[in-house]
Structure 1
Amino acid sequence: MLGLLSSRANRQGMNIAIVACILFTTYAFLTSTKVGVGEHKTLLLDWGRYNFTQHKLMLGVYSHLVVIVVGYVASLFFPRPDIDPNLLFSGWRKARRSALRVVTVVLVLLCGVRGFGQQPEKVRFTYEEGKAMLDSIASRYHSKKEWEERKVELRSCVLSRLGLSPLPARPGSKPIVTPWRRFDGYEVRECSDRDPSRGICEWVVVQAS
């Protein structure tokens, strides 16, 4: 969990945290577990007022806290690791916001969606509003030729608004494309980059034929 939340965590700090967690768990187990026969049971290790007296279910909670706190503090004493931002929770959030902004831009270009300029997460539509919008878009094109002409304009506008004009250089590696997977009413295939450092992965969803 610490590795997902912090770019400062490193292998050395986590090793120290694991050792600290083992020591804490051993202490809690020995000072809270009684052994013996019948009523003559004694603690494996009795430290008096310093015994672990919490419910045993809390041991898992405290162990996680020990790993997170000790792991982060210990990591500060070692060099910062070189981590792909896409592997962090913050990177996932950034990618999600970017994807939502792409959707917002496309909707704006198609039919002037309300709320452009707001945070993408705040742009919401009911089922009826979404259906009416899609029906309105579909009614504007009566042939494939009309749509192809409009598609060229939309593509240039989307790239311009997203700051991708001109496009970056095309990577030399070929993408990984999975076979189509059939579901109830639709099909899905995954396309991803062979270079994991770029963290590019897309899903293509089409209506089942």
Structure 2
Amino acid sequence: MKFMLPPLLYSYDALEPYFDQKTMEIHYTKHHQNYVNNANIALEELPEFSNLAVNDLIQKLDQLPVDKRTVLRNNAGGHANHSLFWNGLKKGTILHGKLKSAIEYNFGSFDMFKEVFETTATTHFGSGWTWLVKKDSKLVILSTANQDNPLMGEEISGTCGYPILCLDIWEHAYYLKYQNRRLDYIKSFWNIVNWDEAATRFSHT
């Protein structure tokens, strides 16, 4: 079973003016597709792992042959991260219900949650991702380097947790529109978070 680029549930310009059409098109059809292609090539020599869903595969990196771990950490990780990212974007949804209550309980208020998330994303050095995860019955904000995912576990990604939402902070995600203004890009994210998707993920933990 080969990995495939998941269908994008909206047009490339659907997130304007926050995420621009050109960046979305390049990001989805070039960057994400490249992770899918590279992961599939690596898995051609690993038939015993080739039928795993990507989120299952990235939790078994320590079981892979040593010469395949890095390529699949990077590329299966990139596929998993981007797949979650695209589904987590949508205009017009509202934070509500149990997830809203949990955010307010864990961070004091939604504004304090946003402040911690923005600081974590802004101060992350280099390429990576910022996450809201559920960890030990608590909501936690963290960041990972490159294409690491909290599902990979402490020994590989340096952290762990079940992802609720994520933000891509690689420069390719924002540079055409925001150049070096990473904070402006991060702040734009709040206008297009798919809170319905995040609430569904939270309810499944």
| Coarse TM-score class (shorter-chain normalised) | under 0.3
Larger radius of gyration: 1
Does 1 or 2 have the higher relative contact order (CA < 8 Å, sep 6+)?
A: 2
TM-score normalized by the length of structure 2: 0.24
